[in-house]
Copies of this chain bind each other. A is one copy, B any other.
Amino acid sequence: MKKIVISTGGGDAPGLNAVIYAVVHSCYRRGWEVYGSRSGYGGLMNVDEMIRLTLKDVEGIYATGGTILGSTNKGNPFSKPVENLAGEIQIVDISDKILRNFNRMKFDCHIAIGGDGSLEIAHRFAQKGMPVIGVPKTIDNDLMATSRTFGFDTAVATATDAIDKLHSTAKSHDRVMVVEVMGRDSGWIALYSGISGGADVILIPEIPFDIEQVCDKIADNALHDKHYAIVVVAEGAVTSDGKAFNRGSGELGREEVILGGVGEWVANEIRKRTDKDTRSLVLGHLQRGGTPTTFDRLLALRFGAAAVRMIEQRTFDHMVALSNSRMIAVPIAEAIMARKKVNLDDDKVLTAREIGICLGDSGIEMPIS
């Protein structure tokens, strides 16, 4: 019999509960006990935040958004701000206390579901001797180590649904609608939802855009008797002449940082330059919520089941990943470093150009591969 503790950390991604569901069921089959640590490491700091998870507790949660464990950020255990008696804030390292609690409760493994921040902390605990298995969570789908992460498909579905809704209004009113979607460093959500939603323009961090190219595309639409346009912008998109936006990348070396979201800026410029009635919308947190899609449920369930198999194989300090339709284990330390950006010769980029979508760049003829 083994005792497993599971935690969720960082931002929301539909599918977190499905991972928990699979872990609890897979452990049940083996006669193991599962405990949930609330609010990240909360349950390992304070035993009152630790809850026993039975089959009954996880009934039906594979289909729900959010996480039953909560993921309020209670800070990094290796450098946690604590108020001392004098009322001053001190940074303390409480990792030893957490490790002691982990051992005292006789846990055999910690399954940490989280983004790069949470996984890095998990890796540091692994180095201190805690048997840790990671499950990657990033709604942006930008981890090199795994071909897909859960939550992304749901975010793209929500964004595409919003674009679909805006289409009818844009068309009826000869309007330009600018939709800002998530993606600070990578344009995956914008690219997927923009192509699927029939966007005219898609702007992503990987391809700095020229607003004149965008306006040219909108003007070109009119030649085909299409007097409206849909522009999808990743929040981290930047201009080719060096403008970044404060909800955007904040990347060093940018000459100019504009206050306000990039979507609003793009909408204002289009309005000024084309005289078209132009509106903008920020999808924001809608993309992180809701019932996970079939794809995300299935992937998250597979991640959870594979994580439990990894305990048996004792491949600790590793993270579960999807590679060529198979579950594999990759060292956490490696996994969290390499980010996956949209590559200009990716087939999706090629498809976008071929079906006439403007990507904001100088319109260089794409190579017909």
User: Which A residues form the contact surface with B (CB < 8 A)?
Assistant: 8, 11-12, 14, 16, 21-22, 25-26, 28-29, 55-56, 59-60, 62-67, 70-72, 147, 153, 156-158, 160, 162, 164-169, 171-174, 177, 192-193, 195-198, 224-226, 277, 279, 281-282, 284-286, 288-290, 293-295, 297-298, 301-302, 304-306, 308-309, 312, 324-327, 347-348, 350-351, 354-356, 368-369
Q: Which chain B positions have C-beta within 8 A of A167?
A: 60, 65-66, 289
Task: Check A289 against B165 for contact (C-beta < 8 Å).
Answer: yes
Q: Which residues on B sit within 8 Å (CB–CB) of A62?
A: 196, 198
Other 14 A-B pairs with CB < 8 A, given A65-B167, A72-B172: A12-B168, A55-B224, A60-B167, A62-B198, A64-B168, A70-B174, A72-B277, A164-B290, A165-B285, A165-B289, A195-B298, A279-B285, A281-B285, A305-B354
Q: Say yes or no: A298-B192 contact (C-beta < 8 A), given A177-B285, A279-B284.
A: yes
- Chain B residues whose CB sits within 8 angstroms of the CB of A297 once the complex forms: 160, 195-196
Q: How many angstroms between the C-alpha atoms of A306 and B286 in the bound complex?
A: 33
Given A281-B286, A285-B177, answer yes or no on A25-B169 (Cβ-Cβ < 8 Å). Answer: no
Identify which of B294, B306, B354 contacts A193 (C-beta below 8 A). Answer: B294
- 6 cross-chain CB contacts under 8 A: A158-B165, A168-B290, A177-B285, A293-B293, A304-B355, A306-B347
- Taking the full assembly, how many copies of this chain does it contain? 4
Which residues of the other chain, B, contact A160 by a CB distance below 8 angstroms? 294, 297
How distant is A59 from chain B, measured CB to nearest CB, in Å? 7
How far does the alpha carbon of A173 sit from the alpha carbon of B39 in the complex, in Å? 8
- Assuming the contacts A165-B65, A327-B347, asked whether A56 and B224 have C-beta atoms less than 8 A apart, the reply is yes
> Which chain B positions have C-beta within 8 A of A168?
12, 14, 64-66, 289-290
User: Which residues does chain B contribute within 8 Å of A285, judged by CB atoms?
Assistant: 165-166, 169, 177, 279, 281
A318 to B333, CA, bound (A): 43
B66 touches A369 (CB 8 A): no
Tell me, rounded to whole Å, the shortest Cβ–Cβ distance linking A159 to chain B. 8
In the assembly, what is the distance between CA of A324 and CA of B212, in Å?
36
Q: In the bound complex, what is the Cα–Cα distance between A289 and B168 (angstroms)?
A: 6
Contact B347–A22 (Cβ < 8 Å): no
Chain B residues whose C-beta falls within 8 Å of the C-beta of A173 in the assembled complex = 11-12, 70-72
Taking CB atoms, residues of chain B closer than 8 Å to A16 are: 172
Residues of B within 8 A of A64 (CB): 168
Smallest CB gap from A165: residue in B: B289
Q: How far is the CA of A229 from the CA of B313 in the complex (A)?
A: 33
Partner of A301, one of B67, B164, B308, B351: B351
Closest to A28 in B: B356
Of all chain B residues, the one with the shortest Cβ separation from A68 is B172
